[in-house]
Every structure is written in C-alpha cells, then in structure tokens.
A = this chain, B = another copy of it.
C-alpha cells in the first residue's frame, strides 16, 4: 500500500477526469486521421462546426467593457447585491414565485449544490435524485460523507416517474428528517428530459402531502443549468413554488455557464424560495457563511457582467436573440440524431431539449471503445452513452445513430 497522510475520510479519493480523457483520445486520433474526420461527442460545451467554443458576442463585448478596476476587485462574500437581484430576475422572468426569495452567489451551479448538501443534510444522510443523473452529484456525496439514492427516472410511457420519485421520498422520510431531492429540469443532463408543468404539479402536491404529516422538512433543489436552452414557456413551473409550507424550502441554482456561455468564469447564484421569512434569512446567513468558510468570495467580473446586461434591456435582448439562434441550431442537431435513431431502431432516453442525448446500454465502455474505431468519441456513463449534440455539427451527426446501433448489435447490451 502506498503511503498516505490524508485524513481517514479523504484516503483513496481519486477520480480521473473522464471527459477530458475521452477528449484527449479524440485529439490524439485527430492527429492521425485529421480533425475533420473525428466526431468528438465528449465536450459538454456548445461548439460550432469548426469545433470552436460558441460564445455570445454581446456577452464577450460586455465582459471586456468592464472597468478593470471594478472587475478585479473583491465582491462581497454573499455576492454583489445587484447581481443577486439580477439573477433572481432573469431566472424567474414573469413567473416569480409568490414567496420570500433571496440568493447567495456561488461558483457556477456546482457551488450551490455543494452548499445545499452541506447545510441541509446531516453527515451520513442520504439525498435523492433520478437514476439518470450528472455524476458529480455522486462525487459531492462522497466528498461530504453523504450517500446518494435514486429513483427510476422514467415511466414506461417515457414520462417523468412521479410515483417512483414520491415513493423514494416517502421511504427516506421515514428514517431522515430532512429530505433533499435534486431535480435537474428542464433539459436534464445527461438525457435532455424535462418535467411537464403537470408533472411538477404532481411532484409538489405529493411533497406537500408528506409535509402535512408534520415529521419532515423537504428541500427541493432544482438544477436549471440548461434552462436557457429549453423552449420558450419553460419557466412557468416556477410559479408553483408560491406559498409552500414553511417546512418546504426550494432552492433554484442559477448558472451563467451555459446560458451566457461563461463556463470558465464560475458565476452562479443559489436562490432560496420560502413562504417563511426566518427560513430565507437562515438560507442567506448559512450559505453566506459557507461561502466564507469554503472559497471566500466569487468572480466579480462575471457578476458585473450580468448586472450590466440586466440594467440595459437592449443589451439583454441582444443576448437573448443571440442565444435563441444557437438554441434553434441545437434543436436541429438533436432532431438529426433522433430521426435517424428512430429510423434504425436505436433506443434513446426521452429527450426534450438541452445539450445531451443518452443511449442506454449495459455495455457503455465496450461500445464506447468500439466506436473509437469509427472515429466517434463518446463519454461512457454507468449505463449509457452520453452524446453531446452541443459539440457536434448536424452534418457530422448524420450517420452516427446508425453506427451506434451497429456497435450495439455487434456487442450486445
């Protein structure tokens, strides 16, 4: 055994950077066969047909127009007050819940997930999410000494499995006071699934029913990292978070990473929603405290960029227009892949919108490797292959479903 100085809970922690690994393999192969012949479906960012990152021109202009003396300064620990206001505003739009609402700036959405797990579950507790989920939830669970449990994501008809979700919640509520439930919708990573407004209504009704028994607190964490790439109308469900019981806290994680193409600026805001002022004051205080005790303050330039856009509706309109163009091209890419998948009989998880489509399989690693022979590079998940349609232009997507189907048929699974 190799020598270790780590504390007992930290020994053996190791997670090779999977996505960067597949990406590196794609780049190696590109040197041999030429970049134009490679389909690199590993990157979780929106790329143009040349494989360059797509950024919103107005965001770039705004970022680089910030007075450096302002951008370079420290932000307050909880974030710039105007940033918090702006984040709340652009998140909810016209569908702001009727409730006490406040926010705390975090590095992207990740920081908010961290704080929610840390501050609203006990050490050793379990939290819940759907069985298709963004794998860092698992990393965070282990990092903080928590456990993750999942429910079946989809019903047989390919809808959100409300019954399975509420069933798991009820089960956990028997052994744990605080039940933290993470739902990543709309445009779920990795499947592209979104709950309908009716499904949200059912979930919330079920959670309220549980709370009325008086034994539990519910913390519903809504990961909306891909919200801005879901179709218009995708914000209506926020209104359902109005006037919930005091023991029912909703946290919505706003992030500028995808919607403003500011991935590397680490700018987000966890937004708390409650009918009870005490709960929201506590939300602000304990998460501000966790900021100070974890990473101190956040990226001021990212915050100022949002503030500047928010204070100038013309600029914000421009950002929204620029983004809409990309959203439509993303829709087009997804349709290309999905139509072909249907044609050749390749099963995919229910997809509505977003950066990724998932092909379920029991042999993700084998099939992923096999596809590399065809110059297709895909990130294998625990039980599927994640196709980053965000990263592949439509012309390279055509033929891909067929090749995946062939590899699946060849290897089984």
Residues of B within 8 A of A20 (CB): 76-77
In angstroms, Cα B141 to Cα A289, docked, is 12
A300 nearest CB across to chain B (Å):
3
**Inter-subunit contact B76/A53 (CB<8 Å):** no
Taken residue by residue from 34 to 66, chain A's Cβ proximity to chain B (1 for < 8 Å, 0 otherwise) reads as 000000000011000000110100011001100
Within the complex, the shortest CB–CB distance from A271 to chain B, in Å, comes to 15
Contact with B along A264-297 (1 / 0, CB 8 A): 1110000000001011011001101110111111
Verify B298–A266 contact, CB threshold 8 A.
yes
Residue pair B78, A53 in contact (C-beta under 8 Å): no
| Complex contact B297–A9 (CB within 8 A) | no
**Pairwise interchain contact A107-B295, C-beta atoms closer than 8 A:** yes
Determine whether A142 belongs to the interface, using a CB cutoff of 8 Å to chain B: yes
A144: Cβ under 8 A from any B Cβ = yes
Tell me if A122 counts as interface (CB < 8 A to partner B).
Answer: yes
- Supposing A264-B74, A290-B143 touch, asked if A3 and B278 sit within 8 A by C-beta, the answer is yes
Known: A13-B285, A143-B289, A296-B108. A74 touches B263 (CB 8 A): yes
Known interface pairs A13-B290, A45-B74, A53-B72. Does A6 touch B110 (Cβ–Cβ under 8 Å)?
A: no
Residue from the set A68, A75, A106, A281 with the largest chain B CB neighbour count within 10 Å: A68
With contact pairs A68-B64, A296-B108 given, residues A6 and B114 touching in the complex (Cβ less than 8 Å)? no
Q: Are B75 and A5 in contact (CB under 8 A)?
A: no
Q: How many residues of A contact B (CB 8 A)?
A: 87
* Contact among B5, B55, B289 with A178 in the assembled complex (CB-CB below 8 Å): B5
* Option from B125, B178, B288 in Cβ contact (under 8 Å) with A15: B288
| Beta-carbon nearest neighbor of A23 in chain B | B76
Q: What chain B residues lie within 8 Å of A246 (beta carbons)?
A: 3
Q: Is the CB of B143 within 8 A of A6?
A: no
Interface residues of A in 225-246 (CB under 8 A from B): 246
- A140 on interface, CB distance cutoff 8 Å: yes
Closest CB in chain B relative to A79 CB, distance in Å: 11
Closest-CB distance, A56 to chain B (whole angstroms)? 9
Shortest distance from the beta carbon of A160 to any chain B beta carbon, whole Å: 25
Copies of this chain = 2
Give CA–CA (A263, B71) in the complex, Å: 9
Interface residues of A in 105-148 (CB under 8 A from B): 106-108, 110-111, 114, 118-123, 125, 136, 139-140, 142-144
> CB of A261 within 8 A of chain B?
yes
- Contacting residues, chain B, for A292 (C-beta < 8 A): 15, 136, 139-140, 143
Tell me which of A13, A64, A263, A288 has the highest count of chain B C-beta atoms within 10 A of its own C-beta.
A13
A299 within 8 A of B: yes
Q: Is A262 an interface residue (CB 8 A)?
A: yes
What distance in Å separates the Cβ of A36 from its nearest Cβ neighbour in chain B?
Answer: 19
A336 part of interface (Cβ distance < 8 Å): no
Chain B residues, Cβ within 8 Å of A289: 13-15, 139, 143
Q: Is A73 an interface residue (CB 8 A)?
A: yes
**Is A301 among interface residues, defined by CB-CB distance under 8 A?**
yes
Given A5-B247, A55-B72, A266-B266, A10:B108 Cβ within 8 A:
no
Chain B residue nearest to A298 in the complex (CB): B266
Q: Which of the residues B69, B74, B108 comes within 8 Å of A295, measured between beta carbons?
A: B108
23 A-B pairs with C-beta separation under 8 A = A2-B282, A3-B276, A4-B278, A5-B247, A6-B286, A9-B122, A10-B118, A13-B289, A15-B288, A20-B76, A53-B70, A53-B73, A55-B69, A72-B263, A72-B264, A74-B263, A107-B295, A108-B295, A111-B294, A140-B293, A264-B299, A265-B299, A266-B298
